[in-house]
Amino acid sequence: MGAANSLATNEGAELVRRCRTGDGAAWEEIVQTYTRRIYNLAYRFTSRADTAEDLTQEVFIRVYRSLEQYNPKQGDLQNWLMRLARNLVIDDYRKRQRAPQDEAADDLEDHQYHLRAAGGTVQREMERRELGVQVQAGIDKLSPDLRTCVILRDIEELSYQEIVDLLKIPEGTVKSRINRGRIELAKILRRMRIVEA
Amino acid sequence: MLCHEFEDQLTDYLDGALEVQANRQFAEHAMRCPVCHDLLSEVKNTLLACSASEAPIAGTDLEARILLKTMPETALNCSDFETYLTDYLDGFLMAPLYHRWERHAALCAGCSELPGAVVRTIGACYTYKQNELTVPAGLEARILQSTIGNVLPREVRAPLKSRLVEWLRGTLDPIVSPQLASVATMLLVSVFVLTNTVSTDGSVGGIYHASLQLAERTAGSASSSALPNEVKQLANDLMRSEENSGNANDANHNQNTSNQNNAAQGTKNSAPQNKPKGGSSEQKNR
């Protein structure tokens, strides 16, 4: 990897400035820093590695074309970039919901999960990996509206207001979807014996 | 006092209900008879132990059960219970609703496990988030190829010109702030106004001269022989009135009329006297 998880505000602004001049190395650093995060976001919505990859690529193409619009005074690069990414991923998700394809979340098992080297035995890592697979499988069973809200709130950890702004729906609706989504997910995971009663 | 009499009076003694005489006899017997003395001590200790012991704490559902029996209308149904679950976890429920919610959680067999399960689910989501998937091999290269058209970005160097422009932009950006933009606009306007209206000697009275001379020149270039005379006449009239009054009204009027307007006005005023020429010069002036 070699890249940090996020960049300081001034670092991000400097990278964008260099990108605007056509500096390939600066763009590479942005790609290396944020690919993993955006890929994971895309994967949570798509549950398919290939679709998530395509979507991640699309996000970066859009980001690259929009670099001129980035204004460091309005927030750091990560917030701007993730906001753009979430908008695109959710748009794509909604589109796919309208025209559903015969995609089953069948490649969940094939996934390589990042194994943390520090702290934790192999057994524990296996359990964590398993948990990740099962949580994703549980999320996949939720209806699209509930799923979107649960991912944004409990995995992306956005505030209610950020979700309102992103989805452009009233706060009451956001709250009730999060509530309903959590309950549904808890019941699903309980049935799967992930979350014991 | 005999021992059986002692036993009979024991409760009265402990309650303080004996007469003075009987009380003294009871106490004397207790001092004399070791068996009765022990009995008295034992009963006293038992009573003490009884009063010290408390009933086990009532289960949280006792109050809920009582309220359910007495005020069933205040009980929450399962659907409402679920509706308020996140608000409960977020601490947003007002006290009355909070207690109704907790009573339902205590009593309803179907719902009592749900809050715990939801909390554990949120925890599972969080754990899931912590275990991010690794980036698939080749994805970054694909992204670089599709954006900058090269998988070796270090080979992509910015052209000197754009680097220079970007550097200048970065350097000047903090200087050219919005506050200074308004100052710059005001400066521009003031330069424009001064260079166009102030007379050569800088006096306000001279502004008329400057304007009228300009009007004269422009009218003269309109190849009309009658007009310059009219303009001169107008200039003389104005100068006279200025000399007469020389007050602020004139100054205001001066400032309101630009040199171009004066020229046009001059021709317009002359129009009724010399219609065809006035008309043509007006067009040319414009």
Closest CA to B43 of B79, B10, B67, B72: B10
A-to-B residue pairs, Cβ atoms closer than 8 angstroms: 160
Tell me the pLDDT tens digit for each residue of A50-63: 999 999 999 999 99
Instruction: Say which amino acid occupies A45.
Output: F
Note the helical H segments in chain A: 9-20, 24-46, 49-66, 77-98, 122-140, 144-150, 160-167, 171-191
Length of chain A (residues): 197
Looking at residue A172, what is its pLDDT?
94
> Across the interface, do B117 and A189 touch by the CB < 8 Å criterion?
yes
Quote the Cα angle for B19-B21-B24, to 5°: 105
> Across the interface, do B140 and A35 touch by the CB < 8 Å criterion?
yes
Whether the per-residue pLDDT at A109 is higher than 70: the answer is no
Residues 152-171 of A with CB under 8 A from B: 154-157
Instruction: Say which amino acid occupies B110.
Output: G
Chain B residues closer than 8 Å to A5 by CB = none
> Across the interface, do A24 and B155 touch by the CB < 8 Å criterion?
yes
Residue pair B209/B262 in contact (Cβ under 8 Å)? The answer is no
- Of A14-28, A98-112, B137-151, least confident by mean pLDDT is A98-112
Chain B residues closer than 8 Å to A197 by CB = 113, 116-117
- Of A96-100, B91-95, B214-218, least confident by mean pLDDT is B214-218
Closest CA to B5 of B39, B56, B52: B39
ipTM score for this prediction: 0.75
> Across the interface, do B127 and A128 touch by the CB < 8 Å criterion?
yes
Q: Which residue is closest to A116 within chain B, CA to CA?
A: B131
Q: What is the mean pLDDT of residues B105-113?
A: 90
Q: Side-chain half-sphere of B179: how many Cα atoms within 13 Å? A: 2
> Across the interface, do B116 and A197 touch by the CB < 8 Å criterion?
yes
> Across the interface, do A128 and B117 touch by the CB < 8 Å criterion?
no
Closest CA to A103 of A161, A57, A68, A52: A52
Quote the Cα angle for A67-A73-A79, to 5°: 60
Q: Is the pTM higher than 0.95?
A: no
Min Cα separation A101/chain B (Å)? 23
Looking at residue B69, what is its pLDDT?
82
The tokens for B275 are 């219609």
Average pLDDT over chain A, rounded to an integer: 84
User: To probe the interface with B, which of A41, A61, A182, A189 has the most B CB atoms within 10 Å?
Assistant: A182
DSSP B194-228: HHHHS-TT--SHHHHHHHHHHHHHHHHTTT-SHHH
Quote the Cα angle for A60-B154-B173, to 5°: 70
Closest CA to B93 of B72, B76, B106: B76
